[in-house]
Chains A and B, each alone.
Chain A
Amino acid sequence: MEIMEKFEMEVRKLFSHVSFHPLEIKLYSHDISVIPGYLEKMVSSDAEVIIQPESVDDVREILRISGEYSKPIVPRGSATSGYGGVVPLKGGIVVDFSRMNHFEIDEETKTVKSEPGAIWWDIQKEARKKNLSLRIYPTSALSSTVGGWIAQGGLGIGSTMFGGIGENIEEIEVLDFERDKRVKKVRHDNLKYYIGMEGTTGLITSSAIKLMDYKEEIPVAADVKGVMEAVKIVERTKPYSAILMSSEFFRMMNEVKGTDFEEKDILLAVYLEKAGLDGRDAYDLWNDRFYPLRIKKKGPSLVSIESLIPFENLGSYYREIKKEVAADHAVQTYFSKKEANVIVLIPSDERDKRFMKDWKTAFKLLKVGMKLGGRPYATGLYLSYLSRRIILDYDELLKFKKKVDPANLLNPGKIFPEGRVPMLMKIAGLVI
């Protein structure tokens, strides 16, 4: 019997939810991003099978057959990120965690213990029933998963007050290739080996996430003249969450949605219980926080670049955006504690020549941001060539990766550059 046949037979026998269907596989071999076609063909491949585990035992079995057949594992949440973190580099097993979606809220410790496939907003809805609330959650909370955002090392709503997801986790449970097949309970300093590591060092099977007492959110909108004024307000008034939206963003929203938002640069600052800023109430903007991608309709494609820029250099970065981006674009800036995630959105058309031009602009902005002390929001597959430069403790993390995954089967090519992708993407950054 051929090895692949044997592999398929064993997988079908072991798991209740598997698919070897070539079109289903296509659906699970990409993420939210659309990159130029020729590049996509060179940097990614299709998975060989999709497995949807239902339990920790299933995850353990996935690791076992991965090792036995040398099949890479690509963990997948809802694939709402765009760095190729869930795109298979060398085929293998896509592990879709959507069926492992149970969670339990502990009112005493104010934590939620969640499986990786739980949806953030499902947790929030349950937490609210108990007068609790998530401290932070992604802007894609309506569909994105706990495991996916932790593996991404996410920043999002609430990060202005509470920082990144790493600062809001008590403990995670992980399985990897080390000989002991029991789940590892990881806390404190050791969390750095997993958070933001895209599943390259282990598969997260459970997470204990900190909650807070629910407090009424009071969104306030203020007109600002430039990003540095917004920074001053954020530093002075310490909101729970803060987003600066450019006038172009509102113009595009009005165009595609028929709304009548004022077309000005507006800081949306959200406070808990008591407003810290004079301004108009902004429940309309706050309720729209999950929909920054609405403007994609203008495209129909969208090229976006996300850079984390230190507060002090945001003014310079905004000037560079103005200088470098000739195409119609919008900017959304999400403030964290000391840096901000600046997202430049360029409506484009993947069927058109301008798509390449817009990608060239995106790469330029990435470089400019890095010169200003910034870094891309994530590296995933496509930007892994930058990991060594931007990830603190990179060498230590690499050493750890080799220890727990000696055969490099855990999401290969992500974070830790491998094969020709880093070179191709580097060249792409230079030439497109």
Chain B
Amino acid sequence: MAKILEDLVDEIYACAQCNYCRICPTFKVERWESVSPKGRLYLLKLSLNNSELDNLMLKDFFKCTTCGLCENVCIVGIPLLKLWEETRNRLTKVKGVLPAHKKLADSIGIYMNPYGEEKELRDGWFPEGIEVSNSNVLYFAGCTASYRAKEIAISTAKILSHFEIEFNYLRKDEICCGSTLLRTGQKDKAEKLVERNIKIWNKNGIETIITTCAGCYRTFALDYPEICEEKGIDFNFEILHLSQFIEREAGKIIKNGMKAKLRGKATYHDPCHLGRHAGVYNEPRELIRASGLDLVEMEHTREDSFCCGAGGGVRAQFRDLSLEIGKLRLKEALELDVDYLISCCPFCKMHLSHSKKVSELEKPEILDISEVILKVINENGGVE
């Protein structure tokens, strides 16, 4: 163990043990040091001094949702997010991959999505009557919106069509972005997807990629350029989240041109991958305000936003824990008595909806930004 951590030693020793990172969503639920960022750093320090991590403690390393809140509060500025992912990559090499994460990787290997769904069904959501063009603007729906939260993909296609934006969609040629693999310590497997995706995009003359998934967005915007640089591959794509694209292309139309507005009180959940990781905070909020909804903020918002609990492979491997974190996030929304909890990520939506269901709550309605935009378009006599 000590050997594989050698080059991370300065980061590991820098921890001030101030415990400010007890803000960690996983710690908030489990309350044991071994799952707190500080505790994990201390365990790594023990490993450097030849203390062997057993399987129980290894598991605790994977209870982190890689939300990055710890890095945000770290007083000595340790690049924790990178450290957790790097540590996971190394741990899986010597200790193996956790069962649920292996299953995800196996599914991706066979079906090109982590859900084990048939490749042939990937574009089953695509609405009739909407045309796909050979545009250099690609809509990348991602695995979750393609198979589990189809309403997001459907809304997106309708929105793009409504604003007469020509877009390409690769249908059955679209494959997983690799985010799940990167977050669960399986970078080597993800790298193959990176190469394959770039080949497909180049072949189709793609220049701009629009995603509705915060995970895909982070992976394309941050991980792909880094991996491409390591591998000497050119990466010349503009990556945009749908909220950024629509705000840029049609924000003013929605705000000023669409007179019929939505009514109700809403709050916005910053997906960790889109917000804290990639710095996209304003565009979704601008669109929510433009829709007419009364936007109020939860206690933890923007850079300090609280994870939904699904990321980092936690939902797959530690379902109960992930739902408990989801409930904590829902509680913040409930305190505001909002009608809508809006996010920008199908995985967040799916998980928060699941947390809501197990909590037997009636409110708030959980929506994706794409659904909000479509609603306001419809209010104004749009596509339906």
Report the bound CA distance from A125 to B34 in whole Å: 27
Q: Is B31 an interface residue (CB 8 A)?
A: yes
Flag the segment in B46-54, B62-70, B253-261 that touches A: B46-54
Contacts of B43 in A (CB 8 A): 23, 27
Among A31, A79, A293, A300, contact of B10 (Cβ-Cβ < 8 Å)? A300
A28 and chain B: residue at smallest CB distance: B33
Q: A320 within 8 Å of B by Cβ?
A: no
Best-buried of A21, A79, A293, A300 by chain B (most CB within 10 Å):
A300
**In the complex, what residues of A have CB within 8 A of residue B51's CB?**
23, 26
Interface string of A281-318 (1 = CB under 8 A from B): 00000000011011011011110000000000000000
**Chain B residue at minimum C-beta to C-beta distance from A26:** B46
Asked if A19 is at the interface of the complex by the 8 Å CB criterion, the answer is yes
Contact between B34 and A78 (Cβ–Cβ < 8 Å)?
Answer: no
**How many whole Å from B72's CB to the nearest CB in chain A?**
12
CB closest residue in chain B, given A125: B299
Judge whether B130 is part of the interface by a CB distance below 8 angstroms: no
Instruction: Kindly state whether residue A168 has any CB partner on chain B within 8 Å.
Output: no
Tell me how far the C-beta of A188 lies from the nearest C-beta in chain B, rounded to whole angstroms: 33
Mask of B13-40 contacts with A, CB within 8 angstroms, 1/0: 1101111101000000001111000010
Q: Point out the residues of chain A lying under 8 angstroms from B34, CB to CB.
A: 21, 23-24, 27
Q: A266-293 interface mask toward B, CB cutoff 8 Å, 1 = contact, 0 = none?
A: 0000000000000000000000001101
> Quick check: B76 and A294 within 8 Å, CB to CB?
yes
Question: Which A residues touch B54, using CB under 8 A?
Answer: 23
Docked CA distance A293–B332 (Å): 31
Give the size of the chain A interface in residues (CB under 8 angstroms): 36
Which B residues lie within 8 Å of A98 (CB)?
31
Tell me whether B46 and A78 are in contact (CB under 8 A): no
Give the chain B neighbours of A402 by CB distance below 8 A: none
Pick from A21, A142, A256: contact of B77, CB below 8 A.
Answer: A256
The complex places the Cα of A23 from the Cα of B46 at a distance, in Å, of 9
Q: Does B94 contact A (CB under 8 A)?
A: no
- Count residues of B near A (Cβ-Cβ below 8 Å): 26
- Distance in Å: Cβ of B173 to nearest Cβ of chain A: 45
A56 CB, min distance to chain B CBs, angstroms? 18
List A57-82 residues whose CB lies under 8 Å from chain B: 78-80
Closest to B38 in A: A27
Q: Counting CB contacts under 8 A, is B201 at the interface?
A: no
Our pick among B13, B20, B33 for the contact of A24 (Cβ within 8 Å) is: B33
Whether B33 contacts A296 by the Cβ 8 Å rule is no
Is B233 in contact with chain A by the CB < 8 A criterion?
no
Please indicate the chain B residues that have their CB under 8 angstroms from the CB of A290 in the complex. Answer: 20, 75
Contact A300 B75 (CB under 8 A): no
- Contacting residues, chain B, for A294 (C-beta < 8 A): 75-77
Which A residue sits closest to B40, measured CB to CB? A27
Report the minimum CB–CB distance from A257 to chain B (whole Å).
Answer: 7
Q: Is the CB of A140 within 8 A of B18?
A: yes
Report chain A residues within 8 Å CB of B115.
none
B31–A297 contact, CB under 8 A?
A: no
| Inter-chain contact A143/B22, CB cutoff 8 Å | yes
Q: B14 — which chain A residues lie within 8 A by C-beta?
A: 296-297, 299-300
- A257–B77 CB distance below 8 A: yes
Q: Does A52 contact B (CB under 8 A)?
A: yes
A215 at the interface (CB under 8 A from B): no
Task: Tell whether B42 is near chain A: CB-to-CB under 8 Å.
Answer: yes
Contact of B75 among A26, A99, A293 (CB under 8 A): A293
Tell me the complex Cα distance, A99–B30, Å. Answer: 10
With a cutoff of 8 Å between Cβ atoms, the chain B residues found around residue A21 in the complex are 34, 56-57
Could you say which residues of chain B place their CB within 8 Å of the CB of A79?
17, 19
Which residues of A are found within 8 Å of B10, using beta-carbon distances? 300
Say whether B56 contacts A27, CB under 8 Å. Answer: no
Q: Which of B13, B16, B32 contacts A351 (CB 8 A)?
A: B13
CA distance A297 to B16 in the complex (A): 8
Is B20 in contact with A142, judged by CB distance below 8 angstroms? Answer: yes
Once the chains are docked, how many angstroms separate the CA of A23 from the CA of B51? 9
User: Could you tell me the distance in whole angstroms from the C-beta of B363 to the nearest C-beta in chain A?
Assistant: 23
Contact A300–B20 (Cβ < 8 Å): no
Q: How far is the CA of A257 from the CA of B74 in the complex (A)?
A: 12
Give chain A nearest CB distance to B210 CB in angstroms: 34
Question: Given that A32-B18, A293-B75, A350-B13 are contacting pairs, would A23 and B57 also be in contact in the complex, using a CB cutoff of 8 Å?
Answer: yes
Beyond contacts A21-B56, A21-B57: 9 other A-B pairs, Cβ-Cβ < 8 A, are A23-B46, A23-B57, A26-B51, A28-B33, A32-B17, A80-B18, A256-B76, A290-B75, A296-B76
Chain A residues within CB distance 8 Å of chain B: 17, 19, 21, 23-24, 26-28, 30-32, 52, 78-80, 98-99, 140, 142-144, 256-257, 290-291, 293-294, 296-297, 299-302, 349-351
